[in-house]
Amino acid sequence: MAPLEDRQLIERCRTGDREAFDELVRRYEKQAYNLAYRLSGNYDDASDVVVEAFVRVFQGLHTFRGEANFGTWLHRVVVNTFLDMRKRSKGRHNVSLEEQLELDGDTLTRQIEDTSPGPEELVEQEEREEVLQKAIAQLPPERRILIVLYHFENLSYEEIAQMLNLPVGTVKSRLNRARLALREILQPSRELFGG
Amino acid sequence: MRCEQFRELISAYIERSIAPPLAAKMEEHAAGCASCRAELEDVRALWQMMAQVQPVKAPDSLHARIMQEVYARVPAGSPLRWWELAWRPRFAFAAAAVLAILALVLWSHNERTDAIALSVVSSGGSPVTPVKTRILPVRFEPFRAEQGDLRWMLKMNAPQPTVVEVASGTRTVWRGLVAKETPVVLPLSAGASVLEVRVSWDNGSVLRAWLPAEILSQDSKPVLVVKEKTVEETLSRIAGAYGVPLVLMGETDPLTRVSLRSTGVALDELLEKVAAELKLEISRAEDGTTVLTAR
């Protein structure tokens, strides 16, 4: 039997069909987790955000109106969940969410060497990604969301504008400023990025 | 060009979305400004770097954790309610028969008790004797506009997703899965003859119900055609996509004004979409009714 379309699965979920919801979660959990990870900046918070987001999805499926595809809607739910949880946990999880970069000293290098003794290039790539992720986590949430949606989730300016209810021009100009801010944060490790 | 302006345009320059003369000015500025040149190079490198980032692997336990949390926090479905019992095939005909009674009641509320006759038939086509019961899996709801025009909405209940097909004459006007309290606006257009509802169960049972032509014809009027689609067709499609029940009331002939009421959610958003799609002006009356008017 051909797999059900998202739309059909959602219809079933709305009737309380939990097998259908199980399947829907399987289809999107990895994507949602990656988004949550990029937004929250660490694995533990990413899991919390995704779990909470899917609970909200299940509770709110009746409000999903199908004008966007489910993936786009889920993006919005994950982003909102991230913002809500961040608000709630401000202070409590401040360190993990707003972790300061440790760009100097041996800390980073040692961590990478400990966990991933692969080829040098791979280590460099991992190191770059880790530094980048920590830099993104230092951006204010509004800028972080824009960077993540555009550069990691590959949404278009138009899709982001629709999701955040902003004019496209505003999204573009804010993204430009977010990139400049990210570059500023990464200045101390400029050599890693070949800039 | 000043550095500030250069910085504002860096992304657009990298994306090549600015006009060549402006790009030339930026290059001219960068040639003489080491700071801006470095910033441009850095942002470009950063951009490339972000494009190469690999997805992270979700923990193996994530799926189980999600489902566990959903199960723990969202209560399981409540026991079957009376209308759900009705949906079971052995209750079907009795349930279907109620349509006739209900339609009569609703019609009488609209002070038009003289002409209604809703026929309910089995799949073999034999009329079913109405049986008085509260069971109500499918019902029609008529709505009348101020000036007497009439539209119908169908409300259906099914404990499990059930394929339902609504036909006007030989034309299928709606087909989809019906779950609990699924409303469907019936997009009746000029020339509609018989409105027929076919409900199919997994075991092959079929329920059909229709509104006879003589009833429909009294209220069929030419409709505003937009982009070769009728207002009703478009609204029905959008309403279906949103899962929002709509009440359509045409007021003039041809139909240039549509009043909408909804019991669903996010009506404003829906209406704005409708208005934009149909190029209609949108206004709201004091009683909360939204009015779409052809420009």
**Which CATH number covers residue A62?**
1.10.1740.10
Nearest to B53 among A12, A58, A132 (CB): A132
Among A residues 136-165, those touching chain B with beta carbons less than 8 Å apart? 147, 151-152
Specify the pLDDT at position A154.
Answer: 87
**What residue spans define the domains of chain B?**
3-52, 75-219, 221-295
DSSP one-letter code for B111:
T
A190 touches chain B (CB under 8 A): yes
Residue where the block lists tokens 């034309």: B171
| ipTM of model | 0.79
All residues of chain A having their beta carbon less than 8 Å from the beta carbon of residue B242 are: 65-67
- Tens digit of pLDDT per residue, chain B (295 long)? 889 999 999 999 998 888 888 999 999 999 999 999 999 999 998 998 888 888 888 988 898 888 888 877 765 442 222 222 223 333 333 333 333 333 323 332 332 222 122 222 222 322 222 222 222 244 455 444 334 344 455 555 554 555 666 655 455 656 666 555 555 555 444 333 344 444 444 434 444 444 433 334 444 332 334 444 455 555 555 555 544 444 444 333 334 445 454 444 445 665 676 667 666 677 776 655 566 665 5
pLDDT tens for residues A151-161? Answer: 998 888 988 99
Domain boundary residue, one of A72, A98, A124: A98
Say whether both A25 and A107 belong to one domain.
Answer: no
Cβ-defined contact of B53 to A129 (cutoff 8 Å): yes
Q: Say if residues A36 and A84 touch (Cβ distance below 8 Å).
A: no
Residue A165 sits in a domain whose CATH number is 1.10.10.10
Q: Say if residues B179 and A15 touch (Cβ distance below 8 Å).
A: yes
Nearest to A26 among B8, B63, B177 (CB): B63
Q: Can you give the residue range of the structural domain that contains A193? A: 100-195
A58 touches chain B (CB under 8 A): yes
A47 touches chain B (CB under 8 A): yes
All residues of chain B having their beta carbon less than 8 Å from the beta carbon of residue A25 are: 63, 66-67
A8 touches chain B (CB under 8 A): yes
What pTM, to 2 d.p., does this model score?
0.51
Domain count, chain A: 2
Q: Say if residues B23 and B13 touch (Cβ distance below 8 Å).
A: yes
A115 touches chain B (CB under 8 A): no
Domain boundary residue, one of A98, A118, A151: A98
Its CATH architecture, for the domain B221-295, is: 2-Layer Sandwich (3.30)
Q: Say if residues B71 and A16 touch (Cβ distance below 8 Å).
A: no
Nearest to A63 among B52, B177, B265 (CB): B265
CA atoms within 13 A of residue B179's CA, in its CB half-sphere: 14
Q: How far is A176 from chain B (nearest CA, A)?
A: 6
Specify the pLDDT at position B247.
Answer: 43
Chain pair A-B, CB pairs under 8 angstroms: 136
Say whether both A132 and A118 belong to one domain.
Answer: yes
For B228-258, the DSSP string reads TEEHHHHHHHHHHHHT---EEEE-SSS--EE
Cβ-defined contact of A62 to B51 (cutoff 8 Å): no
A55 touches chain B (CB under 8 A): yes
Of B18, B41, B46, which to mutate for an interface test with A (greatest number of A Cβ within 10 Å)? B46
Domain boundary residue, one of A70, A98, A126: A98
Specify the pLDDT at position B161.
Answer: 54
pLDDT tens for residues B234-285? Answer: 555 555 554 444 444 433 333 444 545 444 444 566 567 666 766 667 777 6
Looking at chain B, the number of H-run helices and the number of E-run strands are 10, 14
Specify the pLDDT at position A164.
Answer: 87
